[in-house]
Structure 1
Amino acid sequence: MRWLLIILISFTSFVNAQNSIVLEVEFIGAKKTKTSFLEALISTKKNQPLDSVQLNKDLILLKRLPAISNANYKVIKGKENNYSVSFNIEENFTIIPETGFWTSANNQFSYKIGLYDYNFSGRNITLGGFYQNNGYNTYGANFKAPNLFSNKFGLAISYQNWKSEEPLYFDNTSANYLYNNISYEVLGLYQVNFKNEINFGVNIFNEKYEYISGATNPTVPLSLDVDKMLYKFVFSYNNLDYFYQYVDGFKSVFYGQYVSSDNEFQDNFLIFWNDFFYYKRVGEKGNWASRLRVGLSSNKKTPFAPFALDNNVNLRGVGILVDRGTGSIVLNTEYRHTLYDKKKFTVQGNIFVDSGTWRNPGGNLNDFFKSENVRIYSGIGLRFSSKKIYNATFRIDYGFSLKDKSGGLVFGVGQYF
């Protein structure tokens, strides 16, 4: 009996020795970001057991925030089994002006200006808006608070009044239309766990098409004005880790949308696509990045097909909105190499290949394998990035077709993917 008592006392002492407790959690370097918000966001808590696995997850979670460019932590042993955890934060500047200018195919000079705060009130809230003039007035406003109600549940609200001149394709020809979309969107944002998140909600919008020039067909209306409702569901799996301009890991995002409308030219339709991202660090200065997009929609023979073939969306060098389809398979892959790297600024060069294929409106799945629907572009580019300003990467790429003589420059803000 005496030996049993000794064993029980020894076992209890051993368990207590292994049960390290977090005595304090502090954040060093957090200036604009509220420490109360960060404390609520992470899983490492005061007076809770110290868990190194959870600490590493919290570190990755912090680095994913727009407000934080980089972070690390220290664990300091105190009396007995009490420990202090100190997160060292490098904050981004998150009040970002948005500017852009370009010349369209009809030589119309266009520009876009806006202002966004990606850490409004120091609580990971995005708030801002933009104005665009491309011969027509376009404007919008956005509010996104992923942690508005708790560390897992938030809300996103947006409004947009968009106008642009767009081509519609039918009978191997095209016509230019003035397109106007006025939309109101509300989404619920729910973080299931460290890697998985769900967004769900509704978008109520009005679409108008007005004929400007080009071919006509009795089955294609010269004007269209219709109210629609879009139900949206997004599921994302995120296992990415960031270190300034470098990214490592895998991410998958599924988008599902059901659009209801009541007009003879556009039936209710379902559209879904999935983006798969893979990033791999290569040595100290290299980063291989790839994106595969696979998507399908209701297969109606209509010039209003939802998947667009466009410079700024899928194939660099192909042109602006050159075709539409009811299915899309696109692979973008590139190697990024850091050419210049200082404390606040970096320059990367990249070599890329963009390839894609489309299903024609009303076509079959074998459209994906027809050579006339397959596009392959390659090229080179540069990235100029700030390490202290969120998403402050200016990119320029030149892409050229590996099948014909087409090609061109593509400018943008942020990495292409």
Structure 2
Amino acid sequence: MFRRTIVVLLLILGMSSYGQESIVHDLKIQGNKRLKSSFIKKISTIKSGSKLDSLIIEQDILRLKRLPSVSHAYYQVFLSEGNQYNVFYNIEENFTLIPSLNVYTTDDDEFAYRLGLYEFNFLGRNIIFGGFYQKDIFSSYAINFRAPYLFSNKLGIAVNHQDLTTQEPVFFEGETANYKYRNKSFEVLGLYEFNFKNRLELGANYFVEDYKFRGENVNNRPELNVHKWLVKGIYEYNDLDYYYQYVSGFRSQFNFQYVTSTDAMLPDFFIGWNDFFYFKRVGKKGNWASRLRMGLSTNDETPFAPFSVDNNLNVRGVGNTIDRGTGVIVLNTEYRHTLYEKKWFALQGNVFVDSGTWRNPGGDFGDFSKEDNVKVYPGLGLRFIHKKIYNAIFRIDYGFGVTKRATKGLVFGIGQYF
């Protein structure tokens, strides 16, 4: 780091002395084994023959540190000849063939898990390919392919297929009915990166929803099999900086979907939500992390509302899909502190508060303040982190409710909760 600073200072002095623009003679990649040098050069802004600009180099390094295959990156600049310089990008790679595991329970003896395997650096080009198997009473699976830089350093594609089957509570007036719910879908998305901080995803999803009643259907509740089309857009602003397990900065992700239907019981609707993330380093070992989700959908009075209250999505300890709504406000905030660290391993403890509220189907904005709809769950957790394997964070969280009709429960998983 000291050598790099001296070189940059000498570079500035040289430019002022001779009045010449400093030029990149060559970009060289070091330290990478599986990540292709040609791919790194493809996504880098600095090229051979371009103007030497430390700000652009710093942006390239931040982009590299966001890749799943890179645990850390830094650069060096050395004089070549005349006013030309060699730039070296030094890469510390992650292991990227990663199993995933999510397990969640509550004090009602609910138990579900999701087991997957993903390669995050397929073909050495930052392509994500893999899938998962889920057991949540019923069996489910998914296969995912994502290549954000397949066609250029800005344009890529994602293709997803999933066949998910779960038991879903559906909330009729004065009664909760359990359904076997199946969602089988095929999705294609175009991925475009405007610049270092802004990107867009646009695409379509064709899916079939199937609702089968479980148990004795005393009140003749409906069973459905509905074919649907979904148009989807995601816009993301990302200004996060990473240093191993620590994150700092701001990120915003806006999702919008419009869904068409062939059944009046499940009419056409829109759904949109925005996730705001804020991360701040606290001292040398602390990290404060927060996520705020705000969302609305078409406010139909339907038992099949799109926003759910769920253990593994938004409120740790609350249970598996315990309620639904047509609007949502959720705040997750936690303090993470590194308790122990060595070269490749870190142990973090965390203290969190998950809180949220929902608008009832057909209700109004006053529902957000109703006591029955507000959930507040503080809790404690641990993170076991392998610093050289991408997303190798095994988490254990225990959340306990302090609001009306509260539960408590453990949530296990791979990766940070948010």
Q: How does 1:327-346 map to 2 (within 5 A)?
A: 327-346=327-346
**SS of the counterpart of 2:41?**
helix
State which drifts further: 310-319 or 284-293. 310-319
- Alpha carbons of 1:287 and 1:99: their partners in 2 closer, same or farther (altered >3 Å)? closer
- Alpha carbons of 1:132 and 1:403: their partners in 2 closer, same or farther (altered >3 Å)? closer
Listed one character per residue, the Cα deviations across residues 243-291 of structure 1 (whole Å, up to 9, x for unaligned) are 0000000000000000000212111000000000000000100000000
CA apart distance, 1:103: 6.2
State which drifts further: 55-64 or 124-133. 124-133
Q: Which amino acid aligns with 1:293?
A: R
Residue equivalent to 2:73: 71
Provide the C-alpha distance between the structure 2 equivalents of 1:288 and 1:73, rounded to a whole number of angstroms: 28
CA apart distance, 1:77: 2.1
Residue equivalent to 2:288: 288
Residue equivalent to 2:416: 415
CA apart distance, 1:135: 4.2
Listed one character per residue, the Cα deviations across residues 112-151 of structure 1 (whole Å, up to 9, x for unaligned) are 4332100000001011122233443312211100000000
Q: Which of 82, 92, 96 in structure 2 is aligned with 1:80?
A: 82
Residue equivalent to 2:58: 56
- Alpha carbons of 1:365 and 1:238: their partners in 2 closer, same or farther (altered >3 Å)? same
CA apart distance, 1:172: 3.4
Q: Which of 12, 31, 34 in structure 2 is aligned with 1:32?
A: 34
Q: How does 1:130-169 map to 2 (within 5 A)?
A: 130-169=132-171
**SS of the counterpart of 1:328?**
strand
Provide the C-alpha distance between the structure 2 equivalents of 1:403 and 1:98, rounded to a whole number of angstroms: 32
State which drifts further: 307-316 or 104-113. 104-113
**SS of the counterpart of 1:416?**
coil
Normalising by structure 2, what TM-score?
Answer: 0.92
CA apart distance, 1:107: 6.1
Provide the C-alpha distance between the structure 1 equivalents of 2:196 and 2:115, rounded to a whole number of angstroms: 35
Contact 1:174 1:214 in 2 (8 A): no
CA apart distance, 1:15: 9.1
Listed one character per residue, the Cα deviations across residues 344-388 of structure 1 (whole Å, up to 9, x for unaligned) are 111100111111111000000111122221111111111111111
CA apart distance, 1:80: 2.2
Provide the C-alpha distance between the structure 2 equivalents of 1:135 and 1:364, rounded to a whole number of angstroms: 34
State which drifts further: 123-132 or 303-312. 123-132
Provide the C-alpha distance between the structure 2 equivalents of 1:284 and 1:381, rounded to a whole number of angstroms: 20
Provide the C-alpha distance between the structure 1 equivalents of 2:45 and 2:197, rounded to a whole number of angstroms: 14
Provide the C-alpha distance between the structure 1 equivalents of 2:337 and 2:110, rounded to a whole number of angstroms: 35
CA apart distance, 1:111: 4.7
Kindly report the root-mean-square deviation, in angstroms, between the aligned alpha carbons of the 2 structures.
1.9
**SS of the counterpart of 1:295?**
strand
Residue equivalent to 1:317: 317
Normalising by structure 1, what TM-score?
Answer: 0.93
Provide the C-alpha distance between the structure 2 equivalents of 1:387 and 1:193, rounded to a whole number of angstroms: 28
Residue equivalent to 1:239: 239
Provide the C-alpha distance between the structure 2 equivalents of 1:408 and 1:111, rounded to a whole number of angstroms: 14
Provide the C-alpha distance between the structure 2 equivalents of 1:14 and 1:369, rounded to a whole number of angstroms: 62
CA apart distance, 1:92: 0.4
State which drifts further: 384-393 or 205-214. 205-214
Q: Which amino acid aligns with 2:201?
A: N
Contact 1:288 1:335 in 2 (8 A): yes
Residue equivalent to 2:359: 359
The number of residue pairs the alignment matches comes to: 403
Q: How does 1:17-416 map to 2 (within 5 A)?
A: 17-100=19-102, 111-213=113-215, 217=219, 220-221=221-222, 223-404=223-404, 405-416=406-417
In structure 2, the gaps of 5 or more residues are 1-14
Contact 2:102 2:412 in 1 (8 A): no
**SS of the counterpart of 1:336?**
strand
Provide the C-alpha distance between the structure 2 equivalents of 1:44 and 1:76, rounded to a whole number of angstroms: 15
Contact 1:174 1:215 in 2 (8 A): no
CA apart distance, 1:210: 0.2
Q: Which amino acid aligns with 1:63?
A: K
- Which fold has the larger relative contact order, with Cα–Cα distance below 8 Å and residues 6 or more apart in sequence? 2
| Rg (Cα) greater in structure | 1
Provide the C-alpha distance between the structure 1 equivalents of 2:40 and 2:104, rounded to a whole number of angstroms: 40
State which drifts further: 99-108 or 87-96. 99-108
**SS of the counterpart of 2:65?**
helix
CA apart distance, 1:66: 0.3
Provide the C-alpha distance between the structure 1 equivalents of 2:110 and 2:377, rounded to a whole number of angstroms: 26
Contact 1:67 1:124 in 2 (8 A): yes
- Alpha carbons of 1:278 and 1:106: their partners in 2 closer, same or farther (altered >3 Å)? closer
State which drifts further: 175-184 or 124-133. 124-133
CA apart distance, 1:106: 8.5
Provide the C-alpha distance between the structure 1 equivalents of 2:110 and 2:368, rounded to a whole number of angstroms: 34
Listed one character per residue, the Cα deviations across residues 67-106 of structure 1 (whole Å, up to 9, x for unaligned) are 0011111111232221111111110000112345566899
Provide the C-alpha distance between the structure 1 equivalents of 2:341 and 2:103, rounded to a whole number of angstroms: 28
Contact 1:280 1:288 in 2 (8 A): yes
Contact 2:226 2:263 in 1 (8 A): yes
**SS of the counterpart of 1:78?**
strand
State which drifts further: 307-316 or 91-100. 91-100
Provide the C-alpha distance between the structure 1 equivalents of 2:182 and 2:256, rounded to a whole number of angstroms: 23
Contact 1:296 1:327 in 2 (8 A): yes
- Alpha carbons of 1:226 and 1:16: their partners in 2 closer, same or farther (altered >3 Å)? farther
- Alpha carbons of 1:72 and 1:214: their partners in 2 closer, same or farther (altered >3 Å)? farther
